[in-house]
Amino acid sequence: MRQKLGRWFIPVAGGLAFVYLLVPIAYIFVFSFNDAGRTNLEWRGFTLDNWQNPCGAPNVCQSLVNSLQIGLVATVVATVLGTCVAIGLVRYKFKFRNTADLLIILPLATPEVVLGASLLAQFLNLGWELGFSTIVISHIMFCMSFVVVTVRARVSSLDPRLEEAANDLYASPFMTFWKVTFPLLLPGIVAAALLSFAMSFDDFIITNFNSGNFTTFPKFIYVSATRGIPAQANVIGSAMFILALVVVITSQVIAYRRRKALASR
Amino acid sequence: MTATATRGQKKHATEDLRSEEEIAAEKRKGRVGLYLIIPGMAFLALFFAAPVLVLLSMSLYAKPPGAEIGEFVPALQFSNYTTVIAAYWEVFLRSFVFAFIATVAALLIGYPMAYLVAVRLRGRQLMQGILLVLLIAPFFSSFILRTQAWKQILSDEGPVVTVLRAIAILPPDGHLTATAFAVVCGLTYNFLPFMMLPIYANLDRLDTSLLEASGDLYASPIKTFFKVTLPLSMPGVFAGTLLTFIPAAGDYVNASLLGNNRDTAMIGQIIDSRFFKVVDYPGASALSFILMILILALVLIYIKRFGTKELF
């Protein structure tokens, strides 16, 4: 009896936790079909209008485009800079490694309000105008540490003999990097980039400090929360969720099939 | 010049069996490493380290007599710190208590999730992949939208309150939103993925034959869990609790959307309003700096106390 209880506990508790995670998503999805009018607070009847006209509410699509652009630029820069740092830190020995380590870990141990407030203090001091570029800078900053940590784990687990073998076969260091090291690091780099994009896209606190009048999607929702969030925001939230699911699951299925095909050969 | 060179060579000859070329190659590699990290490090120095120093100096600025709103002059006014501590120590305490409860709750919810995906579903890669995606995908629907959804689900007209009132768990005039309970629930919910993912990454590498060995030696499943699984997964738990506690302590979205702004206020809200509504830059900077130092101190104590493998 106890044995059985133990066997069921994990699937039930874990399953319930996943349900808990998805309850608000379900709510957002259902209320994206609400015939809401100005405030999307109570159910007023089913309609497809919001999905047919997702940009119907003022600023909702512009804020989405802004968020996507910021996410893209910040992800590319943070991934490139962070990957270089990760390789440099694992593979090479030099004097300032401990300082470098500290500089990477500290942003992770600092709450977002402090990161946002300190950058705002810096931008005020420099007299920079708040907007697209200051948001991008702040996002690169907090994404880069995550990229370094993620990619570094991958670099450390790499077998150095593979590079030595390439070297022995007269590959130049450059060739060795592109043909051996980089492909092996790629899964880690992709994971880091996806995480960066997700965090940048969903960031509110740091953005709120450094955005001035520029509006991102999370900021749009936060600002309109006092007046009532338009149902179009629910449409975009649901659509982005579904898009993320479809993209990742498709790539998973392709990778799964490929592994199976390789295994059966 | 020549003398030092020969002495240098001799030193290498005694301590180092590598050839001259290998040592030169090593040095060259060291330089490549430096070039690789310089751009990223320069960026962090400019936009993380320097801003923190600016924040520190701004926290000591003073308001000159007859100044306009938002006008401050560089000074060393340490009383800024005592003023904000006297005014907001309770809010600091509340923030840390909320973050602590949320971290424990997220651990209790996140661990079974991680165990389910990493151990129970081991070998079923497609199922594992789908569940992990479900964990990440909510990021794309915006956490503010999800927090707002919780607010509506838990609202007085919502289904949860209606049911709880009907079965008399809540009094007829009781409510869930605008309470500390709602704020802590929101924090737990929002940072759950940060708890679950490191634990998953750790349990994914767990050698299950150890669990079988423990079972073969007549340990009950519960004993096996506490004596084998949990101690082995402590690095994941350690990372997860830090990644949950730190952002939770500084968060203000949950407190402002799900709380009532009076006795659920968290320190992030205060910093935000000091910056933007009150336009008290020195006060807000001092609060931010105190928050950073307190969290770093807590993290260091935590690392010292639990950052080893010897836990049980």
Residue A133, pLDDT > 60, answer yes
Q: What confidence score (pLDDT) does residue B74 get?
A: 84
Identify which of A28, A103, A198 has the shortest CB distance to residue B49.
Answer: A103
DSSP codes, B3-72? HHHHHHHHHHHHH--S-HHHHHHHHHHHHHHHHHHHHHHHHHIIIIIHHHHHHHHHTT-BPPTTPPTT--
- B124–chain A nearest CA distance, Å: 10
Residue A1, pLDDT > 70, answer no
**How far apart, in Å, do the first and last CA atoms of chain A sit?**
44
- CATH fold of the domain at A32-50+59-264: MetI-like fold (1.10.3720)
For residue A219, give the nearest of A194, A197, A242, A202 by alpha carbon. A202
Higher pLDDT residue, A154 or B105?
B105
Mean pLDDT to the nearest integer, B75-99: 91
DSSP codes, A203-233? --HHHHHH-TT---HHHHHHHHTTT---HHH
* pLDDT, tens only, A24-63: 999 999 988 988 776 777 777 788 888 888 887 778 889 9
Q: Provide, rounded to the nearest whole percent, the portion of chain B with pLDDT above 70.
A: 91
Record: contact A91-B33, CB cut-off 8 A? yes
Q: Which residues of B touch A157 (CB under 8 A)?
A: none
CA dist., res. B150 & res. A44, Å (int): 19
Identify which of B134, B253, B281 has the shortest CB distance to residue A21.
Answer: B134
Alpha helix locations (H) across A92-230?
97-108, 112-126, 132-156, 160-168, 173-176, 182-202, 205-210, 217-224
* pLDDT, tens only, A86-109: 988 887 777 777 888 889 989 998
Identify which of A88, A92, A111 has the shortest CB distance to residue B250.
Answer: A111
Identify which of A88, A137, A138 has the shortest CB distance to residue B33.
Answer: A88
Helix axes A231-264, B125-136, angle to 10 degrees: 160
CA dist., res. B119 & res. B229, Å (int): 11
Q: What confidence score (pLDDT) does residue B81 get?
A: 92
Q: Provide, rounded to the nearest whole percent, the portion of chain B with pLDDT above 90.
A: 33
Identify which of B131, B157, B288 has the shortest CB distance to residue A42.
Answer: B157
Q: Which residues of B touch A10 (CB under 8 A)?
A: 112, 115-116, 120
CA dist., res. B103 & res. B282, Å (int): 31
Record: contact A85-B37, CB cut-off 8 A? yes
Helices (H), strands (E): how many in chain A? Answer: 12, 0
Mean pLDDT to the nearest integer, B290-294: 94
Mean pLDDT to the nearest integer, B78-102: 92
Mean pLDDT to the nearest integer, A162-185: 86
Residue A177, pLDDT > 80, answer yes
Record: contact B268-A205, CB cut-off 8 A? yes
Mean pLDDT to the nearest integer, B267-290: 90
CB pairs under 8 A between A and B: 273
CA of B134: which chain A residue's CA is closest? A245
Sorted by where each begins, the domain ranges of chain B are 18-58, 85-306
CA of B25: which chain A residue's CA is closest? A92
Record: contact A11-B126, CB cut-off 8 A? no
Pair B143, A202: CB distance under 8 Å = yes
Record: contact B117-A14, CB cut-off 8 A? yes
Instruction: Compute, in degrees rounded to 10, the torsion defined by CA atoms B213, B215, B219, B224.
Output: 80
Record: contact B153-A218, CB cut-off 8 A? no
CA distances from B174 to B167, B178, B183, B258 (A): 12, 11, 16, 15
Sorted by where each begins, the domain ranges of chain A are 32-50+59-264
Q: What confidence score (pLDDT) does residue B30 get?
A: 66
* pLDDT, tens only, B5-20: 444 444 444 455 667 7
What is the residue-averaged pLDDT of chain B? 84
Residue A82, pLDDT > 90, answer yes
Mean pLDDT to the nearest integer, B63-87: 84
- A16–chain B nearest CA distance, Å: 9
What is the residue-averaged pLDDT of chain A? 87
Domain B85-306 homologous superfamily, CATH: MetI-like (1.10.3720.10)
